[in-house]
Amino acid sequence: MIVTDKKSSIVEQINELKKKRNAILLAHNYQIPEIQDIADVLGDSLALARAALNTQADVIVFCGVHFMAETAAILNPEKTVLLPDLEAGCSLADSITAEQLREWKKDHPDAVVVSYVNTSAEVKAESDYCCTSSNAVAIVNSIPEDQEILFLPDMFLGEFVKRETGRENIHIWLGECHVHAGIRPDQVADTFTNYDQADLLIHPECGCSTPSMYLKSEGILPKDKTHILSTGQMLDYSKKSNAEQFIVATEVGIIHQMEKQNPNKQFIAANPEAVCPFMKMITLEKVLNSLRNNTHVISVPEKTANKAKCAIDRMIAIG
């Protein structure tokens, strides 16, 4: 942990460099608390993509993972996009390559490809639509009902979308986020036995999402208290809800912001070990170094970026 005086000095230097370089700091809800606290915009993937598109800054420092910085670079080819740690990757994005997608498309030549934003720029360039967990259902619903769909790469989000839309013509790639996959339905159910007045907030990437919906339909989990939400929606819901306790089934980093926004409410992690090591790689020191030394510049080849932007633009426009 950074000593308070040293931390204050680093934050002051970051703020000075931001002004000097006309930079903006975008951070995902799963980042470490120190990064969340200095972010100009804090949000989920969709909110951050919109912020990147609309910013007037010359430099975008992206405190997230690699695919997020790529998305910002695609939307802002004339700006400098920095990722403070190049090792900040994503196990879900790594679960499919552009070549694998091209082979899958050969088996379904008439299908529309809907790719979760947690994918590489090359995969986005092979896609018709991108989506996030907050607008995946809306995007699929915008596609004609008789249109075959390839949904990738997250199988849990894919199953959630299939169930919510009632469509049977969706083929789902068998990828997963290793952190969300590790949040099991028994953990949610066990936690609820100890906090039976709590609202359940479950991210659709979680391995527990589909079983939890079954338990909800069977009355084992309370229908009025069980909610499948993106991280941004979780934050909004927890602010508006009259509940005093919330069981949170997603990466635990979001709880910091929940507690800041709701100091009189209690937030309990369904799985306290649901920690993404990639999301925790960026530190204050790395942000300062990034602004000082222009590390690390993220860029996407123009041909790939132009193709990927079409899918990203559709994501931003819907939901």
Give the predicted TM-score (pTM) of the model: 0.92
Q: Give residues with Cβ within 8 angstroms of 94, minimum separation 6.
A: none
Torsion region of 166: left, alpha or beta (phi above 0 gives left; psi -120 to 50 gives alpha): left
Whether residue 225 lies inside any domain: the answer is yes
Return binding residues for [4Fe-4S] cluster. Answer: 90, 177, 276
Return binding residues. Answer: 28, 45, 90, 116-118, 133, 177, 203-205, 231, 276
Whether residue 294 lies inside any domain: the answer is yes
Within the chain, residue ranges assigned H as helices are 4-21, 33-38, 45-54, 66-75, 98-107, 121-125, 136-141, 155-165, 178-181, 185-194, 209-217, 231-240, 254-261, 284-293, 302-317
Whether residue 16 lies inside any domain: the answer is yes
- The number of domains in the chain is 3
Give the N- to C-terminal CA distance of the chain in Å, as an integer: 39
* CA–centroid distance for 240 within its chain: 21
**69 vs 196, higher pLDDT:** 69
CATH of the domain at 18: 3.40.50.10800
Angle between helices 302-317 and 45-54 (to 10 degrees): 110
Q: Residue 213: is its pLDDT beyond 80?
A: no
- What is the extent of the structural domain holding 44? 4-88+279-299
Instruction: Report the distance separating Cα 223 and Cα 169, nearest Å.
Output: 28
Residue 201: closest CA among 275, 131, 251, 165: 251
Q: Residue 198: is its pLDDT beyond 90?
A: yes
**207 vs 142, higher pLDDT:** 142
Instruction: Report the distance separating Cα 59 and Cα 298, nearest Å.
Output: 11
* Same domain flag for 83 and 98: no
Q: Is the dihedral of CA 316, 31, 156, 218 positive or negative?
A: negative
Angle between helices 209-217 and 155-165 (to 10 degrees): 30
Whether residue 274 lies inside any domain: the answer is no
Q: Which residue has the tokens 């839309």?
A: 165
For 234-245, write each residue's pLDDT tens digit: 999 999 999 999
For 215-240, write each residue's pLDDT tens digit: 676 666 777 888 999 999 999 999 99
Mean pLDDT (whole number) for 72-95 = 96
Residue 83 is given by DSSP the state -
Q: Residue 3: is its pLDDT beyond 70?
A: no
Return binding residues for iminosuccinate. Answer: 28, 45, 116-118, 133, 203-205, 231
Instruction: Report the distance separating Cα 257 and Cα 28, nearest Å.
Output: 11
Q: What angle do CA 141, 145, 150 make, to 5 degrees?
A: 75
* Same domain flag for 211 and 256: yes
* Same domain flag for 81 and 120: no
Binning the chain into helix, strand and coil, the percentages to the nearest 5 are 45, 15, 40
* Same domain flag for 27 and 43: yes
Residue 209: per-residue pLDDT: 75
